[in-house]
Amino acid sequence: MIEIEHLTRRFGAFTAVDDVSFTVEKGEVLGFLGPNGAGKSTTMKMLAGFVTPTAGTARIAGHDIADAPVAAKRALGFLPEGAPTYPEMTVTGFLQFVARIRGFRGATLDEKVAAAMAQTQLEGVRLQPIETLSKGFKRRVGLAQALLHDPPVLVLDEPTDGLDPNQKHEVRELIRRMAPEKAIIISTHILEEVEAVCTRAIIIARGRILADAPPRDLLRPGHTLEQVFRELTLAREAA
Ligand SMILES: Nc1ncnc2c1ncn2[C@@H]1O[C@H](COP(=O)(O)OP(=O)(O)OP(=O)(O)O)[C@@H](O)[C@H]1O
């Protein structure tokens, strides 16, 4: 469902993403881990068609994001970092707008908006302008727009960032529930989240993949995922 081949992005002389390749199949939840500035968001933005690769390709459900962007985006739900939305719109107004762009009309549109709001527990703030919401609620609006068309592929950049512990739990449960039918990538700095919801983890630092395995396979006896993360990424920083 997700195929990335030799993806590279340079900003001037700096290489943010360096020859990254991986695939994600239906049923997998891939945790994308790495220190600040490792290249996670840049990889996700290239996958979603928001940043053009310097080299390499990204395909979603078989559609190349550069050659067939509309078909690729139809199959994709993307939660960007910070979840930018239109601040002056109400939650309902924004989700109706997204639903119209996704091609829904009439009763189907209303059903899609209601389902996305229910999944992310936004009913209580449905008529509130987005700019008046707390950080966690704004994040949930971003998540709702990503889920609205029930896409087979989800790319979620720090989906639980800014959420309270109850909401973090809810979003992890939601990801777990959706997982069998979708291919999902989440980036996170919360290592327990990887152990809780991810079937596979990629550790990236300075644009390069350092490990790609199920979380339990990354663990050596007596080592936590945090220790493995620190050892791998600090060695890369030193190199
Ligand atoms: N438009 C840009 N121009 C120049 N440099 C950029 C640009 N976008 C990203 N970078 C650089 O690329 C590197 C990777 O950034 P990226 O946002 O992908 O990291 P990240 O792994 O998502 O980090 P974080 O965990 O802090 O969100 C950083 O050094 C960043 O400063």
pLDDT truncated to tens, each residue of the chain (239 aa)?
999 999 999 999 999 999 999 999 999 999 999 999 999 999 999 999 999 999 999 999 999 999 999 999 999 999 998 766 899 999 999 999 999 999 999 999 999 999 999 999 999 999 999 999 988 899 999 999 999 999 999 999 999 988 889 889 988 999 999 999 999 999 998 888 898 899 999 999 999 999 999 988 887 777 788 888 888 888 877 77
Extract the tokens encoding 79.
Answer: 């939660």
Tell me how far the alpha carbon of residue 135 lies from the centroid of ligand 1, in angstroms. 21
| Predicted pLDDT at 186 | 96
Write down the domain spans for the chain: 2-75+152-238, 84-150
Instruction: Report the complex ipTM.
Output: 0.96
As a whole number of angstroms, the distance between CA 117 and CA 120 comes to 5
As a whole number of angstroms, the distance between CA 24 and CA 7 comes to 15
- Classify 87 as helix, strand or coil: coil
Nearest to 194 by CA among 208, 221, 212, 210: 212
Sequence-distant (≥ 6) Cβ neighbours of residue 165 within 8 angstroms: none
Ramachandran sector of residue 178 (left: φ over 0; alpha: ψ -120 to 50; beta: rest): alpha
144 neighbors 122 (Cβ within 8 angstroms):
yes
User: At which residue do the structure tokens 């390709």 appear?
Assistant: 57
Tell me how far the alpha carbon of residue 70 lies from the centroid of ligand 1, in angstroms. 26
- Residue 216 burial class via C-beta count within 10 angstroms: exposed 0-12, middle 13-18, buried 19 and up: exposed
User: Which residues does ligand 1 sit against, CB inside 6 Å?
Assistant: 11, 16, 34, 36-42
Tell me how far the alpha carbon of residue 114 lies from the centroid of ligand 1, in angstroms. 35
As a whole number of angstroms, the distance between CA 23 and CA 206 comes to 20
**Residue closest by Cα to atom 11 of ligand 1:** 16
**Residue closest by Cα to atom 2 of ligand 1:** 11
As a whole number of angstroms, the distance between CA 185 and CA 29 comes to 6
| Predicted pLDDT at 82 | 79
**Residue closest by Cα to atom 25 of ligand 1:** 36
User: At which residue do the structure tokens 């809780």 appear?
Assistant: 196
CATH topology of domain 2-75+152-238: Rossmann fold (3.40.50)
The sign of the torsion formed by the CA atoms of 221, 223, 224, 230 equals negative
Ligand 1 pocket mutation pick from 7, 9, 10, 11 by most atoms within 8 angstroms of CB: 11
Ligand 1 pocket mutation pick from 8, 17, 41 by most atoms within 8 angstroms of CB: 41
Burial 36-57 (b: 16+ CB within 10 A, else e): eebbbbbbbbbbbbebebeebb
Tell me how far the alpha carbon of residue 37 lies from the centroid of ligand 1, in angstroms. 5
**Ligand 1 nearest-atom number relative to CA 34:** 21
As a whole number of angstroms, the distance between CA 205 and CA 191 comes to 15
